[in-house]
Structure 1
């Protein structure tokens, strides 16, 4: 598998995951705390301030690699399995129809 194919697969997977989290956030059975954690993860990733400033070498960039997945993990733990599966299925169906 060439580099371009790997990059295309990675971009496709990223697109799938973004659609999945959007579907989770929009689902009516998603708990409010889980929605808040999803928003917090997005805000921490996008906003310019961090708990550990980025100008500190290595550690400044690693905090995003720890905090954002932790927030997503906690949000997913709060969401019922049936809701997660329904959202995953709906994203899969939507992407196959395109």
Structure 2
């Protein structure tokens, strides 16, 4: 179980002060300059988190580690979200479009670690250059930052994300239809060039 870092709670404060005004130093996107600086520190640790994910995925059945199957499934679920072709909050949405990916990645790794026995958890964290306090701090910081951005711009961003997703789906269907028509045309033209005995004909009932 991870130790809780009190500084993580202080880092993710509310975006608004009394009277509905933003705190001093706000970036205008629902996050303070301090929060953005701390998120930059989280970003600098991303290579370590990538290594942690690889270490967890390396705990195959032959390792005979209790909970390793569940841990690997959490990591794979996080990867599936990150590489999904359609994103409910696309990256072009300022801040929020990147925070949701980071939030899901950290959540998946956090849950994966919790699935492992304490000695194995400590070992993979040490090999990745991390510790439980840092993982918990980073997770809470990203979670609270996402909450603050949603409080400031979330509804509009979410609707924009839904519209963007719908547009991508429609575009994909349209391109698929055009590709199908093009392939059908090529097959028909190829059929006209075959000798008469080899041309595909209609099946007789």
- TM-score normalised by the chain length of structure 2: 0.32
**Larger RCO (alpha carbons 8 Å, 6+ apart):** 1
| Cα separation, 2, equivalents of 1:11 and 1:38 | 15
TM-aligned CA deviation for residue 73 of structure 1? 0.4
SS of structure 2 residue aligned to 1:24: coil
- TM-score normalised by the chain length of structure 1: 0.58
Unaligned runs of 5+ in 2: 1-44, 129-205
Would you say how many aligned residue pairs link Structure 1 and Structure 2?
A: 83
Of 91, 102, 118, which residue of structure 2 is paired with 1:81?
118
What root-mean-square deviation, in Å, do the aligned CA atoms of Structure 1 and Structure 2 show?
3.3
Matches within 5 A, 1:1-98: 13=48, 16-24=51-59, 27-31=63-67, 32-87=69-124
Unaligned runs of 5+ in 1: 1-9, 92-98
TM-aligned CA deviation for residue 45 of structure 1? 1.9
**Largest Rg, 1 or 2:** 2
| Cα separation, 2, equivalents of 1:15 and 1:35 | 13
